[in-house]
Structure 1
Amino acid sequence: MRTNFDFAPYRRSTVGFDRLFDLLETGLRGEAADGYPPFDIVRDGGDSYRITLAVAGFAPQEIEIVAQQNQLSITGKRAEDADRGDYLHRGIATRTFERRFQLADFIEVGSATFENGLLSIALKRVVPEAMKPRRIEIGQSQPANDRLEGPQGQAAA
């Protein structure tokens, strides 16, 4: 099975879609192939979304959330467990991670909450007023003159 796709023919015939093709190529390469930490993306309403990451073993101060342009980056760096004893088995993954999400235009990152080992980040689509559809009223045109005037200001018959 072929796992790569060539977008070159589409790039040649389109203008302004470079970012879209870059996102598709990045997604096909599997940027976060290890799948850690696992996450859910939920649509809460028409223009509201929520990303929830399972970050068991991390404290809120060990997680950094950065939103810039059209990208959301979540990084977790765990503090050392030097004085917590010798582990016989360690099944809870607490390794350093960085998870990135590409955001569409006009998506704004809202608040973040941390509860029961789950980090939830609220997102909302906020379309500027200039980009929203607006209704155009149909007005009355000015009535045309009933008579056409000739070359010397006389009414034409």
Structure 2
Amino acid sequence: MRTVLDFSPLHRSSIGFDRVFDLLETAVRTPQPDNWPPFDSIKIGEDQYRITMALAGFSRDDLQIEVQNNLLTVSGERKTDHVGEVLHRGIANRPFTRRFELAEHMQVTRAELRDGLLTIDFKRELPEALKPRTIPIGGTEKAASETRLLQSRAA
């Protein structure tokens, strides 16, 4: 069953959210991938996040992590296989690609493979121009004296 979402009411009352609407529409149209490899997505701080993927049997050389245009792509393909006849295969051996859409200003700070778990850390780093700042309110003294001066000339 496919759900069709109509964002036109939101377009009428908001400005500059085109990218968010595009992401939502893409998510609705994109077929759901299989759930392999499993992963956890965790918020570990105010502006810090972590993805942990279970990748038993993969080495660092089997994996590739790439970020381009706010899209994180993690892919893997095992280059070596077991020597001998496999009687039962319970550990997944197939190649994979997982994609994660990143928010604006998200930076990958670390990637580590340990004990079959790939951990990727992120941090939101807002540029100084986008950080909140206080705007001083000036001109009250000058404006008041100019108003008095104009009033005295008019009288």
TM range (shorter): 0.7 to 0.9
- 2:152 is matched with 148
Q: TM-score, normalised by structure 2?
A: 0.83
Unaligned runs of 5+ in 1: 151-155
Q: Which amino acid aligns with 1:56?
A: A
RMSD over equivalenced CA pairs, Å:
2.2
Q: Which amino acid aligns with 1:62?
A: D
Identity of aligned residues (%): 44
More helix by share: 2
Q: Which amino acid aligns with 1:69?
A: N
Does the C-alpha gap of structure 1 residues 8 and 79 become closer, same or farther in structure 2, counting only changes over 3 Å? Answer: same
- Higher gyration radius (CA): 1
- 1:79 is matched with 79
Q: Which amino acid aligns with 2:86?
A: Y
Does the C-alpha gap of structure 1 residues 59 and 42 become closer, same or farther in structure 2, counting only changes over 3 Å? Answer: same
Q: TM-score, normalised by structure 1?
A: 0.82
**SS at 1:141's partner residue?**
helix
Q: Which amino acid aligns with 1:148?
A: S
Note the alpha carbon deviations across 1:114-144, whole angstroms, 9 max, x for none.
Answer: 1000000010011111111111233442123
- 2:5 is matched with 6
Q: Which amino acid aligns with 2:64?
A: E
Work out the CA distance in 2 between the residues paired with 1:85 and 1:33: 32
Provide runs of 4+ in structure 1 moved above 6 Å. none
Unaligned runs of 5+ in 2: none
Number of residues of Structure 1 aligned to a counterpart in Structure 2: 149
